[in-house]
Amino acid sequence: MKQKILYISGTRADYGLMRSVLFQIKHHPEMELHIIVTGMHLMPEFGSTITEIKQDGFRYHIVDTIQEEDSKGSMAEFIGHFIQNLVTRVREIQPDKILILGDRGEMLGGAIVGAYMGIPVFHVHGGEVTSTVDEFARHAITKLSHIHLAATAESAERIRKMGENPEHIFVVGAPGLDQIYPVITEPDMDVITRYGIDPQIPLILVIQHPVPLEPGDPAAQMEKTLQAVSKIRGQVFVIYPNADAGGRAMIETIKQYESLPNIRTFQNVNHADYLHLLKISSVIVGNSSSGIIEAPTFGVPAINIGSRQNGRQKGENVVDTGYDSDQIAQAIEYGLHDVVFRQKVKAAKNPYGDGRSSGKIVKILESVVNTPDLVQKRMMY
C-alpha cells in the first residue's frame, strides 16, 4: 500500500519552493501525494495562485480559510479556523505523514494537527533565525515536529540545542534551489519578450512583506522603498506582498506608484517566470527570503531592508539597510555599480546548498518508519 503524504500550502512562496519535492513525491511508485490548499492561494487580491497547483496536475483539497482582515488579530483567528477545518480534511485523507515548510501560520496549524492526531510531521527549513513573529512559529513547529529537514548545518545545530533527537535531524539544503540550477542554463528570451524587458537597462526586482511585530507602519515602509527605486535608472518590477497584517495597506501604497514610467506591479508571478526574472535582474530589493536563499545561486545582489531577515544565515550577496529612502537608494546604486562587490557576489558560494535537496527529502520520507517511538517524542536535554 502506498504511503499517503500530505503537504500543506498557503502561499505562492511555499509552493514554489517545494515544487520539485512535490513532483518527486507525485511520481514515486510507493507514495501518494495530497496537497492542502488554503490561505493566500484562495484570495483574488493576491492572484488566486491555486491555479498554479491546478496547472501542475496535483491532487489537492481546499481548506477554505483565509485571513479576512488586515490585522494581527485576524492572523490569529486564521490559524484557529484553519486548525478546525484541517482536522476534518485529515480525517478524510488519513495521511501517513505530514510535510510542512518554514514558519507560517498554516504550517503551525499543520504541525499542531499532526502532533495531536499522532501523525509524524516532517519539517523543512527549521532552526533558522529571523526577526518576525514567524520565528516563534518556526521554533514551535520544530517542537511539534518529528523529523527535521534543515537547510544548513548551522540550523541543524540550533534544532539539536532545542532538545531534538540528533537521529531525527538531517541537513538537506534548501529545496527552493533545486529548480534554480536548471534555470541557470535555460534561455531567458521568452520571459524577456513576454514581460517586455529591455536587456540594456537594469532590472530591479522588489518584494517587500509586512513585519507585524516591527515598530512602524508597513505602508510607510513600503513607500520609502518605492521612493528609493523611483530615483534609480532601471526597470522596476514590484511583486505584491503577502497577506500578513499590513499587507493590504502596502498594496494600496504600491498602487500609487503604478503610473510612474519605470515601475510595473504584479499581483503574482508564477514560480518558473519568477526564477528567470531573478536570474536576469541586476538586484533584488526588499525583505524576501528569496534574496537570502535563492539570489546567491544566480549571483544577484540583495538589498535587504529592515529587520525581517535579521539573524538568518546570509551569503556575500546581501547588503543590509534600514527604512530610509536615501540609504536604500545608495545601497541599490552600490549593488548595481560597484564592480568589486558584483565580482565577489558572482564568485560566492550559496550557504543553502547545491540544488539536490528534493531527492534527499523524498528518500527520508520513504525510509522513516512510523513507530510509537517516533510519534511519542523524547527530549534529549
At residue 71, the pLDDT reads: 73
Percentage above 70 pLDDT, the chain: 99
Mean pLDDT of all residues in 283-288 = 98
Fold designation for 184-347: Rossmann fold (3.40.50)
Mean pLDDT of all residues in 234-262 = 95
Residue ranges of E strands in 96-141: 97-101, 121-124
Grade residue 381 by pLDDT with cuts at 50, 70 and 90.
confident
User: So where are the chain's domains?
Assistant: 3-178+355-375, 184-347
Residue ranges of E strands in 10-151: 31-37, 60-62, 97-101, 121-124, 147-150
Counting every residue written for the chain, the total comes to 381
The answer, yes or no, to whether residue 68 has pLDDT greater than 80, is no
The answer, yes or no, to whether residue 329 has pLDDT greater than 90, is yes
The answer, yes or no, to whether residue 134 has pLDDT greater than 80, is no
At residue 28, the pLDDT reads: 98
Grade residue 218 by pLDDT with cuts at 50, 70 and 90.
very high
* Cα–Cα distance for residue pair 330/265, rounded to 1 Å: 23
Q: Running DSSP on this structure, what letter comes out for residue 354?
A: S
* Cα–Cα distance for residue pair 232/284, rounded to 1 Å: 13
Grade residue 132 by pLDDT with cuts at 50, 70 and 90.
confident
At residue 160, the pLDDT reads: 97
Mean pLDDT of all residues in 290-300 = 96
Grade residue 183 by pLDDT with cuts at 50, 70 and 90.
very high
* Cα–Cα distance for residue pair 197/63, rounded to 1 Å: 38
Whether 3-178+355-375 and 184-347 share one fold: the answer is yes
The answer, yes or no, to whether residue 213 has pLDDT greater than 80, is no
Listed in sequence order, the DSSP H helices in 314-379 are: 325-337, 339-347, 357-367, 372-375
Strand order in the sheet with 283-286: 263-266, 235-239, 203-207, 283-286, 302-305, 318-321
Of 133, 172, 144, 143, nearest to 156 by C-alpha is 172
At residue 44, the pLDDT reads: 86
Of 96, 72, 163, 73, nearest to 126 by C-alpha is 163
Radius of gyration of the chain (CA): 20
Grade residue 135 by pLDDT with cuts at 50, 70 and 90.
confident
More confident residue, 269 or 75: 269
- For residue 231, the Cα-to-chain-centroid distance in whole angstroms is 29
* Cα–Cα distance for residue pair 1/14, rounded to 1 Å: 28
To 10 degrees, the CA torsion angle through 258, 259, 264, 266? 40
Grade residue 1 by pLDDT with cuts at 50, 70 and 90.
confident
At residue 299, the pLDDT reads: 97
Mean pLDDT of all residues in 45-64 = 93
pLDDT digits (tens, 9 = 90+) for 352-369: 998 999 999 999 999 999
The answer, yes or no, to whether residue 198 has pLDDT greater than 90, is yes
Task: Please tell me the number of Cα atoms within 13 Å of 139 on its side-chain side.
Answer: 16
Give the lowest-confidence range in 95-99, 278-282, 349-353. 349-353
Grade residue 175 by pLDDT with cuts at 50, 70 and 90.
very high
Of 109, 116, 100, 19, nearest to 63 by C-alpha is 109
Mean pLDDT of all residues in 84-112 = 97
At residue 374, the pLDDT reads: 92
- Arithmetic mean of pLDDT over the chain: 94
The answer, yes or no, to whether residue 32 has pLDDT greater than 80, is yes
* Superfamily of domain covering 3-178+355-375: Glycogen Phosphorylase B; (3.40.50.2000)
The answer, yes or no, to whether residue 89 has pLDDT greater than 90, is yes
At residue 95, the pLDDT reads: 98
* Cα–Cα distance for residue pair 200/346, rounded to 1 Å: 19
Give the lowest-confidence range in 118-122, 163-167, 249-253, 308-312. 308-312
Residue ranges of E strands in the chain: 3-9, 31-37, 60-62, 97-101, 121-124, 147-150, 169-171, 203-207, 235-239, 263-266, 283-286, 302-305, 318-321
Grade residue 212 by pLDDT with cuts at 50, 70 and 90.
confident
The answer, yes or no, to whether residue 14 has pLDDT greater than 90, is yes
Q: Hey, what's the cell of 101?
A: 515548510
Grade residue 29 by pLDDT with cuts at 50, 70 and 90.
very high
- For residue 221, the Cα-to-chain-centroid distance in whole angstroms is 21
The answer, yes or no, to whether residue 336 has pLDDT greater than 90, is yes
Q: Helix axis angle, 12-26 relative to 357-367, nearest 10°?
A: 60
The answer, yes or no, to whether residue 245 has pLDDT greater than 90, is no
The answer, yes or no, to whether residue 153 has pLDDT greater than 80, is yes
Mean pLDDT of all residues in 105-127 = 97
Of 294, 95, 27, nearest to 181 by C-alpha is 294
